[in-house]
Amino acid sequence: MPTRYLYQKQDTGLTRRQFLKLAGSALGAAAILPFTNLPNVYAGDTPPLSWPPASLGRITTWGVEIHETSSPKAKLVRVARQDEVLRLRGQVVGDALMPHNTIWYQTDDGYAYSSWIQPVEDIKNIPVPEKAADKFWGEITVPFSDSRMAPDPSARRSKRLYYTAVFRIIEAVVGKDGQWWYRLQDGIAYSPGPYVLAAHIRRIDPSEMTLISPNVMNKRIEVNLIDQTVTAYENDYPVLTARVSSGFGVHRTPRGEHTVLRKSPASRMIGGEGTDYYDLPGVPFPTYFTQSGVAIHGTYWHNDFGRQRSHGCVNVSSPIARWFWRWTVPSASYDDSITKTPKDMKGTVVKVF
């Protein structure tokens, strides 16, 4: 079936005033609002509670308790395990497990704390194999999809890929199951990599990756580590504010004035040791502002924006990451895997304080 666009259940957390600011000054932002989810993204007001942020939620950690009411003291119904997908019926303000987040999701079985639940959809797409020869960027549109070493559902699994992860599609083939499969590269491998069912990936059109506000010369980004927010300014006017998760402990996000050095539509981020090890394919739209690789980038492995918890980067929701990637200078070509700021140009200023 074709991609569905989910306007009616979007919960952007925007007040009318914030929305008018965003729509009036950053006109390209509308391109990222369909299909993706913005739970607890915007700073300031409590998000509206009449709709869930998405129709489904994926458990991102080892387990999440489901209680009869929105309190950890309420009767425990059961524990939902990692990668289980829950139907979300609504969201409510409840007893905060952590002071930065009071939101609980209502599920079929009870209430679950939202920080460890990624809002997702389960959207199947019509394959576009004719586009694969030219290569294109694609976005996972199902809660998760297992990539395989060959276009065959029984082939050895490579990596599990999650909703909103981004990859370069370099080939389309009909698999042993008679379905179209895409072969992935950038975002998971330097050379041609594993295969994933084509129905699980939405092609990102080049129009969705063009520069936002191209005629504005005075742009800057401010990352407030105390408030855990990031704000984009055009001519000293704030046009977008989003909640973040910045670096924690020895991995704190470096303070000071930086500039955008390079950016990519997708990256595989690997690091840490022991229990701190991570391997994250398809990290969406990183915008790097330090030589050590600190970036503003999309996040699918938690929904815990509003507190320090990253390895130094500025975690934001995936649609917000794409917005910053599009809005910042230098602008990037759709065909490029990486765009570096030319030596004779200054990238967008990023102030961290």
Do residues 180 and 111 make contact, with C-beta atoms less than 8 angstroms apart? Answer: no
Identify the domain containing residue 80 by its residue range: 56-120
pLDDT given for residue 48 in this prediction: 53
**Other Cβ atoms within 10 Å of 82 Cβ, number:** 12
User: pLDDT (tens digit, 9 = 90+) per residue, 218-244?
Assistant: 999 999 999 999 999 999 999 999 999
Q: CB-based contacts of 343: which residues, under 8 Å, 6+ apart?
A: none
Residues 200 and 240 in one domain: no
Residues 176 and 218 in one domain: no
**Other Cβ atoms within 10 Å of 68 Cβ, number:** 12
Residues 152 and 61 in one domain: no
The domain total for the chain is 3
In this predicted structure, the answer to whether residue 13 has a pLDDT above a threshold of 60 is no
User: pLDDT (tens digit, 9 = 90+) per residue, 171-208?
Assistant: 999 999 999 999 999 999 999 999 999 999 999 999 99
Tell me, what CATH number does 109's domain have? 2.30.30
Tell me, what CATH number does 295's domain have? 2.40.440.10
Evaluate the omega torsion of the peptide bond into residue 330 and state whether it is cis, within 30 degrees of 0. Answer: yes
User: pLDDT (tens digit, 9 = 90+) per residue, 70-126?
Assistant: 999 999 999 999 999 999 999 999 999 999 999 999 999 999 999 999 999 999 999
Provide mean pLDDT across the span 290-314: 97
Under the banding of pLDDT at 50, 70 and 90, the label for residue 51 is confident
Structural domain includes residue 20: no
- Compute the Cα dihedral for 105, 7, 45, 43 and give only its sign: positive
Tell me, what CATH number does 138's domain have? 2.30.30.40
Strands (E), 114-218: 117-120, 136-140, 144-148, 157-162, 166-174, 180-184, 195-197, 201-203
Domain-terminating residue out of 204, 229, 261 = 204
Domain-terminating residue out of 120, 146, 164 = 120
Structural domain includes residue 178: yes
Residues 312 and 338 in one domain: yes
Do residues 150 and 142 make contact, with C-beta atoms less than 8 angstroms apart? Answer: no
pTM of this prediction?
0.88
Residues 79 and 113 in one domain: yes
Domain-terminating residue out of 204, 227, 252 = 204
Least confident of 49-58, 234-243, 304-313: 49-58
